[in-house]
Structure 1
């Protein structure tokens, strides 16, 4: 770990020039004291690093210093494979490895190409933390120690013991055969088998994880994309679904349909609105989804959903019925 950090220090100084200890500490996610100790270690090893004091001071390398670096380590190579999504790397516990790998890749480029690539990179921004409505994207927070343990079991092909908290249930220990990891809209999932049955676990609901020495019972190869599609299809067709008859303003049909599991039938009413027979995952999903479109959708059946929406609307009207 420290050797990789020392290499990253040298690469940062080569590519960015003079940097303060505080800036280096933020980049490497360590303390300033750790950076100072690392600088002493680099100097003792013969790396020509020097410090400049003053307002614009910091650490720098002697001009034209060249490095002879080894290749990428396992996690860095893996991080580059998931670099298409920076958040994917973060979610799978590979964020620091991705940063380190990118430093090595940039350093390996010819000088002219390195400058061009750095300039081009400043013109691209992928998946910012907020959208145009200033809504902040909040990725799931999963302890790195848990993600690392799960990841090791997936890659090593070992069974995995997890302390899992399912929705509405007490946490329980389970032993599973891990298949792979999937990230969807900043949510991470572990695909696994438990006995002969397929299982999908949210990473944020794993409270603890332990890689076992026992080999996982799974095929040697896997098509994760197909496995995810199959599980998604089963999710949409199984369980206790809620059927709803709803009228929708045709101008907003796509927004409404985007929140349902399935559209079973559709026809136009005399006034031009659309009458849809749709299915939701359950009662809570139905009430939440229809409420998002309450201005341009009307539930015709079942009555319990009309009552739930009426009660919710009455509560809102009461709250805002008088001035503050």
Structure 2
């Protein structure tokens, strides 16, 4: 841990030119006294760190102390810098590691690219925390320790014991063979097999995990993209699908397409297929008065009862 901290300290000084002991302590999440000991250790090791005294003083490196990453063009340098803003790493518990890695990348860029690429990167915002209506778009919050345990089992090829809460069920322990991790729209999933059958687990529903000291029963090589696509196909075509006939404001058609499995048009009516009854009811409720479910009757009844409950509450 200390070796990583010393490297980060050097990179911080390279990036900021000069920082006080207090600022370094905040960045490194240690005490100022620890920073002073680390600076002394770097000096003893031959790293040219010096102290500038005074109100605006701090620690700095002698000019010219760096290792460059050569062979990059401007677009490649820019791509590396903006990659650090992607939130998939946060879903997999790698947020701090990514931040540290991007600091190293920025420090290693050739001098001619570092400032121009950083300036351009500031004009690109990837996946902000809210949309224009101030609705939160942050990734699911999953404890780093939990994701680390899952990730370790995936990478080591070991069986994994998880405490999982399936929808409308109580938490249950199960032993699985992990295959890979996937993130979609800031939601993390664990692809695995259980007793030879494909399983997909939502990371946010895993309450505890334990890597087991025995090899997972899984193929040596995997095409994770194809595995995800195959599971998506089975999800869309499996289960007790529900078909709904409805009228819809044309302006809301794209919203319906985002939730339905299929949509067909006949005259002024649409026929939409949903994964199950719950998804059908949820999708039609989200459309509000822009849609009218014509059939099945049970869906009309459920939507009417929902609306009546709202009227009763606010009437």
For Structure 1 versus Structure 2, the TM-score category normalised by the shorter chain is 0.7 to 0.9
Closer, same or farther: CA 20–168 of 1 in aligned 2, 3 Å: farther
Query: Who is 1:303 aligned against?
Result: 297
Unaligned stretches of 5+ in structure 1? 70-79, 270-274
Q: Secondary structure at the match of 2:18?
A: coil
Task: State how far apart, in whole Å, the 1-side matches of 2:21 and 2:198 are.
Answer: 49
Aligned-pair distance for 1:251? 3.3
Q: How does 1:48-197 map to 2 (within 5 A)?
A: 48-50=49-51, 52-54=53-55, 56-57=56-57, 59-64=58-63, 66-67=65-66, 83=83, 86-197=86-197
Query: Who is 2:281 aligned against?
Result: 287
1:266 partnered with 2:265: yes
- Please report the TM-score for the alignment, with normalisation by the length of structure 1: 0.85
Query: Who is 1:75 aligned against?
Result: none
Query: Who is 2:38 aligned against?
Result: 41
Once the two structures are superposed, residues 236-293 of structure 1 have per-residue CA deviations (whole angstroms, 9 ceiling, x without a partner) of: 1111222222122333222222211223x43013xxxxx1222223332222210111
Query: Who is 2:307 aligned against?
Result: 313
Once the two structures are superposed, residues 142-179 of structure 1 have per-residue CA deviations (whole angstroms, 9 ceiling, x without a partner) of: 11111111111111111111111112212111111111
Q: Secondary structure at the match of 1:258?
A: helix
Aligned-pair distance for 1:89? 0.8
Task: State how far apart, in whole Å, the 2-side matches of 1:225 and 1:233 are.
Answer: 12
Query: Who is 1:76 aligned against?
Result: none
Closer, same or farther: CA 251–122 of 1 in aligned 2, 3 Å: closer
Closer, same or farther: CA 103–226 of 1 in aligned 2, 3 Å: same
On the 8 A contact 2:130/2:138 being kept in 1, the answer is no
On the 8 A contact 2:157/2:215 being kept in 1, the answer is yes
Aligned-pair distance for 1:109? 1.9
Unaligned stretches of 5+ in structure 2? 69-79
1:6 partnered with 2:43: no
Q: Secondary structure at the match of 1:45?
A: helix
Instruction: Number of aligned residue pairs: give it.
Output: 299
Closer, same or farther: CA 167–40 of 1 in aligned 2, 3 Å: same
- Please report the TM-score for the alignment, with normalisation by the length of structure 2: 0.87
Once the two structures are superposed, residues 28-63 of structure 1 have per-residue CA deviations (whole angstroms, 9 ceiling, x without a partner) of: 4x24x1x54033222233142426453x44x32143
Query: Who is 1:220 aligned against?
Result: 220
Task: State how far apart, in whole Å, the 2-side matches of 1:122 and 1:52 are.
Answer: 32
Q: How big is the alpha-carbon RMSD for the aligned residues of Structure 1 and Structure 2? A: 2.3
On the 8 A contact 2:161/2:211 being kept in 1, the answer is yes
Aligned-pair distance for 1:83? 4.0
On the 8 A contact 1:83/1:98 being kept in 2, the answer is no
